[in-house]
Structure 1
């Protein structure tokens, strides 16, 4: 029987596998792999159609509020100069962990032993309890305040007090509406969160209330999204940075937009006008494009994607994220394995309750399989045994590795669409996309696959380009360092004696 790899020349939807064969598949499994190849492969032509729709939704978000992709205004007016200095405490509420960091920015200090090390970082990471994702606002902010208090006691001692408060930056990587930089009304929970009492409320005010309740020596200066943080942190060292991207538990991007192109902004807002009274300057936009194509106009929906959406806390929302983000890739893989098991094609002589449990597998499971160079794929065998309690055959390893590749390739190619849409909309032809997140920085082949897809969308080969003009770089610590830099920039802005700056201070 002709294998899927041999059909590449005949069928444009096939992707040549980058993996070495472990074993031949049975005719039944080969047929299943051909079906899965066709379902998960997204051609260059299809990517372009997705990007066309992506551009439309990005533009809609700049025109008015309440659109599918919200294009949230952040009140970050510029990228850093690289000279910013100061000591800032940062708090990062992610999808899996809570992190507290003391960041000292050195800027352009000449007395550094290593001039490239422009900051120092002291941090603690706390794994979020599983119950917190479905807790209440009171439980969430109490937990966070406790960890802030622990960090202050352990790391800062009596250095700060009521008259000498430490500036605090908060990385809140969920869709939020901001009327100013230290304010953030949560639009909707993402990343599997469903905490009562926060949606529609000012998360900054709720956090500030708990800080004051515990009398912590902190002043909340800014609330940022991790995409904006990634962009700013990278620009602190790399002035070719054009976009900040997150390819991890969720997916999103941020970029600098011209203020006049953001039509939904109040034309009478003094903060946005130059000395002649015209709208001017730049504004960092947090796209929140995990919600792209919630109507499923262009995304190629498989039955596995539909199952994930139906069982998620927010069915019908965050469609793009559910196709491409790290939270879901392992679950897509698991659903396919369960289906093939139910058909009697794999794991015939074994039972695994863990395989039947939702979200047992994460993207790291897929990454380890694709990165396995051990003899006889011993590491992959151990992985299946440790995580699922399964002894796997050579054929099952071959199928699993090829399946992991199909799903990861689709995710990487889709992740290129959001960046391509921003670049085409803004006329960006070169620069660096500062990427943070576990998928971008830990999956062994994500960056290569992402770059290939971006080149197909932007026709780099047809243009005869010898080098990729837009490249993905590993972002600096956006949620920690980037947040601290934004806080430092905000403090610098507030210190300027102008009416426009005064109007930015929290009220």
Structure 2
């Protein structure tokens, strides 16, 4: 009996060593020491500068044509359409005459029907226009002279030629709509409004990063960077116009000296990115294979699936569940990032929240979930920490390009998106990584500010700035 017990104990220890060894391999590949972050930051700055000058770069560095920002003086009634991730929103907002105050806001969020991710682009625009028409009628708000002013937050890579015109370069996330690439989104949206029986003024087209920055600037003049940390990731920042070599010939800066640049940093590719075999296998099943590497390492769309794949490898190669692999663990996309967040945040002695998540997502029995809870928490922490350190590295690159990474001036980095809003451990790791890379003294002058509904608010605020003429504050 004693020999049998000893043999069983040896087997458990052997399994644990296998699991620890595999986790240590991932820790080595994913943790990103300061030296790696610094090297990647310098590479991102190099690619930013190349993109700004029109040279080859994985960063598109798109001029937003926004060379002014809200001042907080704007007032009036405005609407916004916001699309670009997993949800679609219509917004009504009344801006008060009191500086930087919103008098009224109404927002409606819609689940996008599955067929609209692949239908002809005109049908997608019809969906957006019809939703806003009904939204405005239900509110009994028709805008000035019955012709609503609309800010259009369209969070896909576009080459912009003015504040309200441009060309769609490519679809991202889960969208793949024929008939849209190469077309002007504002023109297509305006045509959809005509089909829906309403004339509108679409005064502004911007992406969610520009919107987040515009929204933050409405409240705080020190806002200089806008970041999305949600389903996907991207950033916009204030750049010197003299550094932008890709502006259309028709653009005349006048007395303007700065413009917001949409980096499209989700597309960043570099040998310095901490890619693992799990990441490459995940990339192979996405619609945009070989693209958006940075986003696939950091975005909320992917983090839970990365964690699931590592846990599956632990089950297959390190006997996380003994000699068997639960079938539920093999189901792709069965672990969402919000569920991974619950595992990461569970610091209870028994891991009760983690147990419930593991049972629900992978259809595990209680003993199976109990056996896997510590490994699951370790994996969740690895995935979220890598995402945060990569995001901090990219933020520091934008700050360095602006010569603001020394902390000599207060700088607000406005952040929107569910990962930043709800993932407490991620937020703390992001702050820790900035301190690691910039030094605590400099990092203390960098304010990471959550800008809720930044894209929608920014679309309204910028449309209001254009409509009201209260744009004397330069970017």
TM-score by shorter chain over 0.5: yes
Query: Whole-Å Cα distance in 2 between the matches of residues 466 and 269 of structure 1?
Result: 39
- CA distance in 1 between counterparts of 2:101 and 2:246 reads 40
Who is 2:423 aligned against? 443
How far is 1:152 from its partner? 2.3
TM-superposed deviation, 1:444: 1.2
SS at match of 1:256: strand
For residue 106 of structure 2, give the secondary structure of its aligned residue in structure 1: strand
1:414 positional shift: 0.1
* Distance in 2 separating the partners of 1:494 and 1:434: 22
Corresponding residue of 2:412: 432
Q: Is the 8 A contact 1:176 1:187 kept in 2?
A: yes
Whether 2:444 is the aligned partner of 1:468: answer: yes
User: Per-residue displacement from partner, 1:303-346 (whole Å, max 9, x unpaired)?
Assistant: 01111222211112111111111111111111112222333613
Task: Give the distance between the partners of 1:491 and 1:350, measured in 2 at CA.
Answer: 64
Cα-to-partner distance string for 1:16-73 (whole Å, 9 max, x where unaligned): xxxxxxx997222112211121121111000011011100111111111774211111
Question: CA separation in 2, counterparts of 1:397 and 1:201?
Answer: 49
2:74 aligned partner? 84
Question: Given the alignment, which residue of 291, 307, 315 partners 2:289?
Answer: 315
- CA deviations on 1:365-415 (whole Å, 9 max, x unpaired) are 111112224562222211222232222343300000010000100000000
- TM-score when scaled to structure 2? 0.89
Q: Distance in 1 between matches of 2:137 and 2:200?
A: 13
**How many angstroms does 1:355 deviate by?**
3.2
Deviations 1:53-101 (A, max 9, x none): 1001111111117742111111211232111112111111131111111
| 2:119 corresponds to 1:135 | yes
Q: Tell me what 1:181 maps to.
A: 163
Select which of 88, 110, 125 maps to 1:126.
110
CA contact (8 A) 2:75 2:468 kept: no
State whether residues 174 and 287 of structure 2, in contact with CA within 8 Å, keep that contact through their aligned partners in structure 1. Answer: yes
Give me the whole-angstrom Cα distance separating, in 1, the residues matched to 2:135 and 2:232: 27
Task: Provide the C-alpha distance between the structure 2 equivalents of 1:27 and 1:401, rounded to a whole number of angstroms.
Answer: 17
Give the C-alpha shift of residue 492 in structure 1. Answer: 3.0
| TM-score, structure 1 normalization | 0.84
**CA deviation string 1:406-428 (max 9, x = no partner):** 01000000001111111111101
Residue matched to 1:306: 280
Query: Is 2:253 the counterpart of 1:272?
Result: yes
SS in 2 for 1:177: strand
For residues 95 and 42 of structure 1, the distance between their equivalents in structure 2, rounded to whole angstroms, comes to 28
Q: Which runs of 5+ in 2 are unaligned?
A: 1-12
**Aligned position for 1:72:** 62
| 2:50–2:56 CA contact under 8 A, matched in 1 | no
Task: Please tell me whether the aligned partners of residues 42 and 413 of structure 1 are also in contact (alpha carbons under 8 angstroms).
Answer: yes
Indicate the residue corresponding to 2:393 in structure 1. Answer: 417
Q: How does 1:342-381 map to 2 (within 5 A)?
A: 342-343=316-317, 345-348=319-322, 353-374=327-348, 376-381=350-355
Summarize deviations over 1:87-128 as a string: whole Å, max 9, x none. 11111113111111101111426xxxxxx7534210110111
What SS does structure 2 have at the residue aligned with 1:409? helix
CA RMSD of aligned residues (A): 2.4
Change over 3 Å in CA distance of 1:106–1:352 after alignment to 2 = farther
1:338 is aligned, of 306, 309, 312, to 312
The question of 1:220 aligning with 2:202 is answered: yes
CA contact (8 A) 2:311 2:379 kept: no
Q: In structure 1, the residue corresponding to 2:290 is in which secondary structure?
A: coil
Cα distance, 1:362 vs structure 2: 2.0
41-50 or 128-137: bigger deviation = 128-137
1:144 is displaced (CA, Å) by 1.8
Partner of 2:7: none
Residues in 2 aligned to 1:52 and 1:64: alpha-carbon distance in whole angstroms: 19
Aligned-partner Cα distance in 1 for 2:324–2:355: 14
Residue 198 of structure 1 aligns to a residue in which SS?
A: coil
- 2:89 is paired with a residue whose SS is strand
SS at match of 2:153: strand
Which ranges in structure 1 are unaligned for 5 or more consecutive residues?
Answer: 1-22, 110-115, 275-279, 497-507
Rounded to whole Å, the distance in 2 between the matches of 1:389 and 1:270 is 58
Structure 1 counterpart of 2:34: 44
Aligned length, in residue pairs: 454
Instruction: State the alpha-carbon separation in 2 of the partners of residues 66 and 128 from structure 1.
Output: 35
Q: Give CA deviations for 1:259-308 in whole Å, capped at 9, x if unaligned.
A: 11112224x5463123xxxxx42111111111112xx3221221011112
